[in-house]
């Protein structure tokens, strides 16, 4: 293994990863099987919405001209429910009892709520002043025109967008299929979550963290490839098997400079071409990335905060590009520091932080002990970014904050 590898600045490192990532080909799926997936086509309105003048209230539809003349007592010409069409004519001096969602006849242009009326046999008296023209009427085409783009390619089909797609008849849509991901934990010191560790062992938390992150991502599905000891043959078997079946392979641990850090060499033996090794960041400096055909492989440093940081800053943008997102970099917040922050090195630092002052600021988690401190990470809301050139940031300095969740 090459010992004197130059550190790639963060922006260049992230760009190198994204350049090497290829989008998956789109597939066409029934809408009900595409929930949460990323669209690869625009969704347009097949007709105006609403498609007719629609009553927004249960009440009485009238002519506004009659109201303008001071008429408040009307003969009720009938009742119209949602899903039905009015076949008759409503004359001057008449009203129509109408339900929410029903089409308002073209000669009527105002609706008064049923709560503001009084019935006397076949007649209805409106108890308010003069309603405005089109009051309580959701007018045809008010939401969108026919052919208007309603959902843009590169956006995930959230529940709200699914409703829009269904409303315009998008029964089948072009999307990116679910990305297949393998997660492997390496390290002879690791044991499973349910096992009692020996005094010199620790439980594997990294793979649980990653699997939990993928549980929140409907457009990617992760499988766990197990905890593998620092045995080159066992690691080679696990990685080779994962590369055959998956679009992305993530392995934690074994990527640094120790004698038992076999991952870079094994990946090379498996035909993975290295595109990034080591970035000028802390934590996560020894990050490894490579490709084999269209498959992407990430070797993440084994410390828990390193895994969390490199997943957010490198793996997640790469996955978003593979899925076809229009914007692969997640939006960031810019918030003032509620407490000062110092560092001694010229690296970009990601420090776990929490919201302060009711969410108007952020503060480093008190007592943070570095990249192995998963307890502090568990108390955090995301990552505070301390820029490369900064050494001391006083309270009030505006910094980037990358929340774990938006």
pLDDT tens digits, one per residue of 190-237: 999 999 999 999 999 999 999 999 999 999 999 999 999 999 999 999
Is it the case that residue 62 has pLDDT exceeding 90? yes
Backbone angles phi, psi at 65, to 5 degrees: -60, -40
Q: Which two tokens stand for residue 198?
A: 């020996």
pLDDT at 15: 98
User: Do residues 234 and 221 touch, judged by C-beta distance below 8 A?
Assistant: no
Neighbours of 310 (CB within 10 A): 27
Around Cβ 401, how many Cβ atoms within 10 Å? 21
Would you say domain 10-24+178-323 falls under CATH 3.40.980.10?
Answer: yes
331 pLDDT higher than 60 = yes
Residues 232, 238, 241: CA angle, nearest 5 degrees? 135
The whole-number pLDDT of residue 144 equals: 97
What CATH number matches the domain at 27-48+151-175, 3.90.550, 3.30.40, 3.90.105, 3.40.109? Answer: 3.90.105
Range(s) of the chain covered by CATH 2.170.190.11: 54-138
96 with 105: CB under 8 angstroms? yes
Rounded Cα–Cα distance for residues 52 and 282 (Å): 59
Residue 3: its pLDDT value, please? 56
Share of the chain above pLDDT 70, in %: 99
pLDDT of 406 higher than 80: no
Average pLDDT value for residue range 329-348: 95
> Could you give the percent of the chain with pLDDT greater than 90?
92
All CATH 2.40.340.10 domain ranges in the chain, comma separated: 333-403
- What ranges in 158-262 are assigned the alpha helix state H? 159-167, 206-215, 232-245
- CATH of 54-138 among 2.170.190.11, 3.40.50.300, 3.10.129.10, 2.30.30.230: 2.170.190.11
Confidence of residue 1 (pLDDT cuts 50, 70, 90): very low
pLDDT one-digit tens code per residue, 80-131: 999 999 999 999 999 999 999 999 999 999 999 999 999 999 999 999 877 7
Judge contact between 72 and 116, C-beta under 8 A.
no
Q: pLDDT averaged over the chain?
A: 95
pLDDT number for residue 367: 87
CATH of 333-403 among 2.40.340.10, 3.90.1300.10, 3.60.15.10, 3.30.470.20: 2.40.340.10
Question: What's the whole-number mean pLDDT along residues 267-291?
Answer: 97
Distance of alpha carbon 233 from alpha carbon 64, whole angstroms: 83
Per the listing, tokens 């549980």 go with 215
Residue 309: how many other CB atoms lie within 10 Å: 27
Per the CB < 8 A criterion, the answer to whether 168 and 45 are in contact is yes
- CATH 3.40.980.10 maps onto the chain at 10-24+178-323
Query: What is the C-alpha to C-alpha distance for residues 401 and 385, in angstroms, rounded to an integer?
Result: 6
30-41, pLDDT tens digit by residue?
A: 999 999 999 999
The three-state secondary structure class of 316 is helix
What confidence category does residue 4 fall into, taking pLDDT thresholds of 50, 70 and 90? low
Residue written as token pair 């084999």 = 292
Residue 405 pLDDT: 85
Report the pLDDT value the prediction gives residue 195, as an integer from 0 to 100: 92
> From CA 46, how far away is CA 167, in angstroms rounded?
9
- Give pLDDT, residue 5: 75
Return the minimum-mean-pLDDT range out of 46-50, 125-129, 140-144: 125-129
Indicate where the chain has its CATH 3.90.105 domain(s). Answer: 27-48+151-175
The reported pTM is 0.90
The CA-based dihedral angle spanning residues 120, 123, 129, 131, taken in that order and rounded to the nearest 10 degrees: 140
């Amino acid at each position: 293994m090459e010992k004197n590898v130059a550190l790639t600045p963060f922006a260049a490192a992230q760009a190198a990863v994204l350049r090497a990532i290829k989008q998956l080909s789109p597939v066409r799926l029934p809408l009900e099987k595409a929930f949460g997936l990323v669209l690869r086509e625009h969704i347009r309105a097949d007709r105006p919405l609403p498609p007719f003048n629609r009553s927004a209230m249960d009440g009485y539809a009238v002519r506004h001209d009659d109201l303008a003349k001071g008429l408040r007592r009307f003969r009720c010409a009938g009742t119209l429910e949602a899903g039905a069409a009015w076949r008759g004519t409503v004359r001057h001096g008449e009203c129509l009892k109408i339900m929410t969602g029903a089409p308002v006849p073209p000669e009527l242009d105002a609706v008064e709520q049923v709560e503001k009326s009084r019935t006397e046999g076949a007649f209805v008296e409106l108890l308010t002043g003069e309603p405005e023209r089109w009051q309580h009427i959701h007018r045809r085409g008010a939401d969108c025109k026919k052919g208007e783009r309603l959902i843009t390619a590169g956006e995930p089909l959230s529940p709200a967008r699914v409703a829009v797609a269904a409303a315009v008849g998008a029964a089948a849509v072009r999307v990116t299929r679910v990305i297949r991901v393998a997660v492997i934990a390496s390290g002879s010191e690791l044991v499973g979550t349910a096992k009692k560790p020996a005094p010199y062992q620790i439980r594997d938390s990294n793979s649980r963290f990653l699997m939990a992150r993928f549980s929140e991502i409907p457009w990617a599905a992760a499988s766990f490839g197990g905890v593998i000891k620092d045995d080159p043959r066992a690691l080679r078997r696990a990685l080779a098997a994962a590369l055959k079946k998956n679009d992305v392979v993530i392995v934690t641990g074994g990527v640094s400079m120790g004698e038992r850090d076999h991952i870079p060499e094994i990946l090379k033996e498996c035909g993975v071409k290295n595109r990034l090794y080591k970035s000028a960041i802390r934590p996560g400096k020894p990050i490894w990335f490579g490709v084999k055909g269209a498959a992407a492989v990430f070797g993440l440093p084994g410390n828990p905060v390193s895994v969390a940081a490199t997943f957010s800053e490198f793996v997640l943008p790469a996955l978003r590009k593979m899925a076809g997102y229009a914007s692969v970099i997640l939006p960031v917040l810019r918030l003032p520091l509620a407490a000062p922050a110092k560092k001694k090195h010229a690296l970009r630092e990601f420090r776990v932080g929490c919201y302060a002052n009711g969410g108007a600021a952020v503060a480093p988690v008190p007592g943070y002990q570095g990249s192995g401190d998963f307890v502090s990470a568990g108390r955090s809301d995301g990552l505070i970014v301390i820029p490369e050139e900064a050494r001391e940031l006083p309270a009030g300095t505006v910094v980037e904050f990358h929340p774990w969740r938006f």
